Chains A and B, each alone.
Chain A
């Protein structure tokens, strides 16, 4: 199993540009999550999904959109990038929530200039 994979690893965007961060898991997990981590800070939940076709907002959803058309994929869309979105983005998945480990992808480092 590859686990959770994310692409790209690094990206520089100009203000106002858009992009999609890709996330795929091959563990047949129902639950998937997108977090952002600013330097020296903890993880903040952007969006999450409890299964294909179901998504919900987390703590910091503004400026982002997600979709979950399949169990495996959970892309994160940034529209009109702003410098405040400069961060490291982690995708994670888990089989359940209670008493279940989250598996993380390696992250995407995004800089908006």
Chain B
């Protein structure tokens, strides 16, 4: 079973739409959660960390549900520039490494 699973998409949405991605993780000892963004042929970059109480950064909102072992990312008022692949990343307590999902591709169209 994969440590982190994501719907690969693609999610094709018009500009201005609201879109949400989910990511599930398998290890209940997971302690740190992140969303990274990866543009085509570029390195991943941190979009936002995900905190237990949920957190917001402008148009982006991240939520953590420990009971069901998933995290979510909500993007409001989608922009063309939001088109990218969004990677869910998890760190498990006592393990010195990060586990990456395979990514969800978002296409925002005019």
Contact = CB atoms under 8 A, between A and B. Distances in A.
B46 interface: yes
A48 B99 CA distance: 12
B44 A58 contact: no
B85 to A, nearest CB: 9
B43 A104 contact: yes
Chain A interface residue count: which class? 20 to 34
Contacts, number: 52
Given A97-B32, A98-B31, A99-B49, A43 B44 contact: yes
Interface string B33-73: 01000000111111001000000000000000000000000
Contact of B34 (A35, A56, A101): A101
Contact of B44 (A45, A50, A56, A90): A90
A43 B45 contact: no
A75 interface: no
B91 interface: yes
Contact of A42 (B41, B91, B100): B100
Given A97-B32, A98-B31, A104 B45 contact: yes
B97 A97 contact: yes
Contact of A48 (B42, B97, B102): B97
Contacts of A48: 96-97
Interface in A30-49: 31, 33, 35, 41-43, 45, 48
A92 to B, nearest CB: 8
A31 to B, nearest CB: 7
A31 B32 CA distance: 16
Contacts of B89: 102
Nearest to A30: B96
A99 to B, nearest CB: 5
Interface of B: 31-32, 34, 41-46, 49, 87, 89, 91, 93, 95-98, 100-103
Interface of A: 31, 33, 35, 41-43, 45, 48, 50, 56, 58, 88, 90, 97-102, 104-107
